[in-house]
Amino acid sequence: CSTIVRCRACRTYINPFVHFVDSKKWKCNLCYRVNELPDEFQYDPVSKTYGDVTRRPEVRSSTIEFIAPSEYMLRPPQPAIYLFLLDVSNIAVQSGYLNTVCDTLMEHLDNLPGDVRTQVGFITFSSTVNFYHLAEGFNQPHEITVLDIDDVFLPCPDNLLVNLKECRELIKELLLQLPKRFSGVHEPKSALGAALQAAFKLMGPSGGRVTVFQACLPNWGPGALQSREDPNNRSSKEVTHLGPATDFYKRLALECSGQQIAVDLFLMNSQYSDLATLSGISKFSGGCIHHFPLFNQGKAQQVESFKKCFERYLTRKIGFEAVMRVRCTRGLAIHTFHGNFFVRSTDLLSLPNINPDAGFGMQIVHEESLSDLRSVCFQAALLCQSTEILYSADVQCMVGLLAKMAVDRSLTASVADARDALINATVDVLCAFKVAQNLPSGLTGQVVAPQNLALLPLYISALLKHPAFRVGTSTRLDDRVFAMCEMKSLPLDQLIRLDSRSIFLLDCGTQILIFVGTNAQPNIVTGVFGVPSVNDIPDLFFTLQNTGTPESEALHAFIEGLNDEKPFAASIQIIRDSSSYRSQFTEKLIEDRADNSLSYYEFLQHLRCQVK
C-alpha cells in the first residue's frame, strides 16, 4: 500500500487496536472517528492475497516502519557527520584519556553508521581552539589555532569536515599524532564554550552529531564556570547547586537543536566540573551524557569499561533529524515529557539524533471521564532520516512495478513514451544515488549504483527487448498485446523468467554455464551435482562429475551432444542463484542487440551520458 493510512481527525496511524467496521472502513482507537480504507489496503504484501485487511502488517504488528514520502521531510537526507571535541588541558592530558579515545576511534572508524558520504572532523581546545585541516591531497594533517576565543570563527571554509572514505588515512594519522602532540602541554585553561560555538558554526548548515570529551571545569572564555561545590556541605540535608549556574549551555543547545545538531558529552573529570550546568548542552539538544569520574589510563578496569561504552556509542544505530509525537486516547493528555530533547509543541519532541539507547518518559493527565472505557491506547510515532534506504531497495520489485506502469503508459500515450519512461526511471535512480554519495559530476567510466541495484540497468535493458515494449517489425500486434496483458496481470514471481525452482543451461560457445535456482529440488541437485543441497555448491565450481544417476547421465549426454558440434569441448561452470557470481550468468542473457534495441553495453553507455 503506497498510502500511509492515518485517521483524518487525530492523525493516528492504523494499528492492531483499531476496529474495522467493514472491509472499507475502520474506527480509530484514539478518537473513535470512522475512516475510509483505500482500496489498495485490501492487498496483503506478505501472503500476496486480497480481501482480508486484518492480515496487513500494520494491523498485525504494533511496531512497524514506513519509508516516508517526500512530504514528511523538510529537506533531503543529509550525510552522517561526526565532529569530535577533545579537551587537551593539563588535567585532561594527565588522565591519559586521549590515548584510549584515539585508539578506540581508530579501531572503529569503518564501523561508524552512515554511507560513503559520511564526514568527520576534529577540534581540540584548552586556552585556544585548534582546528584540523584534512584536505585529501595533504600528507599530514594541518593544525590551525584560533586565539580569539571570545569571538571564535572558522579559520577556513573547507576541509575541516572531510569525507571519511576519501581521507581515511589522513584521519588515522591525526589520531596517531594527537596524544603525542599534547603529551607535554601544561595548559590549565579549558575553553569548552568557545569550542562548542565553533562546532555550531561548522555544523550549522548540515547538522549531525558533536561528541565532547571534557576532563575539567570549563574556566576560560564564553561559558566559563567557577567551582560551586563545597565538600564540607555534602552531608547537608538540602543539596544545593543542582540547577545550572548559567543558561549559556542551554541557549547554545537550543540553537544546536534548531540546526539539527545533537551534542553528546563524555565527562572524564578528576575534580568538580559542574555537570549541573554542562548537562544543558546535551539535555536540550537531544544528546546523551556519559560520566567516568576519576578516569585514569593506569586503571585497567576503568579503561576497559570506558572502551566498551565508547565502542557501543560509535557503532550503534543512529537516526538524524528526528521528531517524535505521542498520541493517546481521547480523554487523556500528555502533561510532561522526560528525557533529552526540545519540546517543539505540546506533543512533539525535536530530536536531532536518536539512538536505540535513548529513553523517554511522559506524564498523563485526565481531561475527561474514562469510566465508559475498557482500555486506553498510546501511540508513539518517530520520524527520522536513515542513510540505508538506497541499500534496502528491492530491485526485482522495482522492475515489476515499472513494467506494469510502462504498460499503462503504452496504452495512454505510446510504446516510445513507455520506453523513454523506463530509461528515465533508471536514470533518476542512478542520479539520486550519485547525489546521495556525493560523487563528482562528469564521472566517467562505469555506471555507479549500490550493490542491491547493480542489476537495475540489466533488468531495464531486458524489459526494453520484451515483446511488450520492443521496437522493430518482428513483433506482431497480437503478440505485443498479449505480452502487455501478461505483464499487467501476472504476479512478480511469474514475471521473472528464471524460475528459482529450476536449473538452466546456457551455451556460450567456449563455455557452458549451468545456473541452479535457489529452490531447485534437493533430489535433483544431489543426483546431478553430488551435493546435499543448493547451498553446498561452492561459489567457484567448474567440475561436473557423472554421479551415475539417470539425471546425471542425461545431462552429460546432452552436453556431449553440444560439444560434438564444436571444434573443442566447452568448459563448464556451475553457478548457484545465491552465488556472488550470479551476474556471470544473467548478464549473458541480454548481451547482444535485438531488433533496434541497444545491447546491454550500449544501454549502459547511454545511461552514463544521461546521469549528470
The upper half-sphere exposure of residue 119, i.e. CA atoms within 13 Å in the direction of its Cβ, equals 23
Of 68, 62, 52, the closest CA to residue 4 belongs to: 68
Of 461, 496, 490, 466, the closest CA to residue 480 belongs to: 466
**3-state SS assignment for residue 528:** helix
Q: Which pLDDT score is estimated for 46?
A: 65
Residue showing cell 504484501: 45
Q: Which pLDDT score is estimated for 492?
A: 54
Q: Which pLDDT score is estimated for 426?
A: 86
Whether residue 357 is found in the same domain as residue 442: no
- Rounded average pLDDT over 529-554: 88
The verdict on residue 199 lying in a domain is yes
The CATH number assigned to the domain holding 67 equals: 2.30.30
- Rounded average pLDDT over 598-603: 68
Domain that holds residue 416: 387-491+594-611
Per-residue CA distances from 577 to 419, 514, 587 (Å): 29, 10, 13
Q: Do residues 325 and 82 lie in contact, with contact meaning Cβ atoms separated by under 8 Å?
A: no
Task: Report residue 73's pLDDT band, with 50, 70 and 90 as the boundaries.
Answer: confident
Distance of CA 128 to the CA centre of its chain: 36
| Helix ranges, 85-236 (H) | 90-95, 97-107, 168-181, 192-203
Cell numbers standing for residue 47? 501472503
Q: Which pLDDT score is estimated for 146?
A: 94
d(Cα 600, Cα 426) in Å, to the nearest integer? Answer: 14
Q: Which pLDDT score is estimated for 256?
A: 93
Q: Which pLDDT score is estimated for 238?
A: 64
525-530 long-range contacts (CB < 8 A, ≥24 apart) are 527/551, 527/552, 528/503, 528/552, 528/555, 529/574
Q: Which pLDDT score is estimated for 494?
A: 47
Q: Do residues 89 and 215 lie in contact, with contact meaning Cβ atoms separated by under 8 Å?
A: yes
> What tens digit of pLDDT does each residue of 428-461 get?
888 877 777 766 665 555 677 777 788 888 888 8
Q: Do residues 209 and 264 lie in contact, with contact meaning Cβ atoms separated by under 8 Å?
A: yes
Whether residue 85 is found in the same domain as residue 210: yes
d(Cα 200, Cα 197) in Å, to the nearest integer? Answer: 5
Residue showing cell 545550572: 244
The verdict on residue 7 lying in a domain is no
The verdict on residue 5 lying in a domain is no
Higher pLDDT, 563 or 491: 563
> What tens digit of pLDDT does each residue of 95-145 get?
999 999 999 999 999 999 988 899 999 999 999 999 999 887 778 899 999
d(Cα 80, Cα 168) in Å, to the nearest integer? Answer: 15
Of 15, 9, 17, the closest CA to residue 375 belongs to: 17
The upper half-sphere exposure of residue 219, i.e. CA atoms within 13 Å in the direction of its Cβ, equals 15
Whether residue 87 is found in the same domain as residue 50: no
> What tens digit of pLDDT does each residue of 485-539 get?
656 545 454 455 566 788 999 887 778 889 998 888 889 999 999 899 998 888 8
Q: Which pLDDT score is estimated for 248?
A: 95
Whether residue 290 is found in the same domain as residue 163: yes
- Rounded average pLDDT over 556-585: 83
Dihedral angle of Cα 58, 59, 60, 61, to the nearest 10 degrees: 50
Q: Looking at 352, 386, 420, which one is the last position of a domain?
A: 386
Q: Do residues 220 and 127 lie in contact, with contact meaning Cβ atoms separated by under 8 Å?
A: yes
Q: Looking at 357, 386, 415, which one is the last position of a domain?
A: 386
The CATH number assigned to the domain holding 557 equals: 3.40.20.10
What's the whole-number average pLDDT of the chain? Answer: 84
Q: Which pLDDT score is estimated for 391?
A: 61
| Overall number of domains in the chain | 5
Higher pLDDT, 66 or 118: 118
d(Cα 29, Cα 45) in Å, to the nearest integer? Answer: 24
For residue 474, pLDDT over 80 is answered with no
- φ and ψ at residue 429, rounded to 5 degrees: -65, -45
The verdict on residue 335 lying in a domain is yes
Task: Report residue 594's pLDDT band, with 50, 70 and 90 as the boundaries.
Answer: very low
Q: Which pLDDT score is estimated for 129?
A: 96
Task: Report residue 370's pLDDT band, with 50, 70 and 90 as the boundaries.
Answer: confident
Q: Which pLDDT score is estimated for 119?
A: 94
Q: Model-level pTM?
A: 0.64
> What tens digit of pLDDT does each residue of 268-311 get?
988 889 898 998 898 889 888 888 888 999 888 788 888 988 99
> What tens digit of pLDDT does each residue of 139-186 get?
889 999 999 999 999 998 888 999 999 899 999 999 999 999 998 888
Whether residue 272 is found in the same domain as residue 331: no
What DSSP string runs through 485-501? HHHHHS-HHHH-SS-TT
H or E stretch at 132: strand 129-133
- Rounded average pLDDT over 16-26: 90
Of 466, 482, 495, the closest CA to residue 589 belongs to: 466
Whether residue 226 is found in the same domain as residue 207: yes
Strand partners, 351: 322
Whether residue 116 is found in the same domain as residue 213: yes
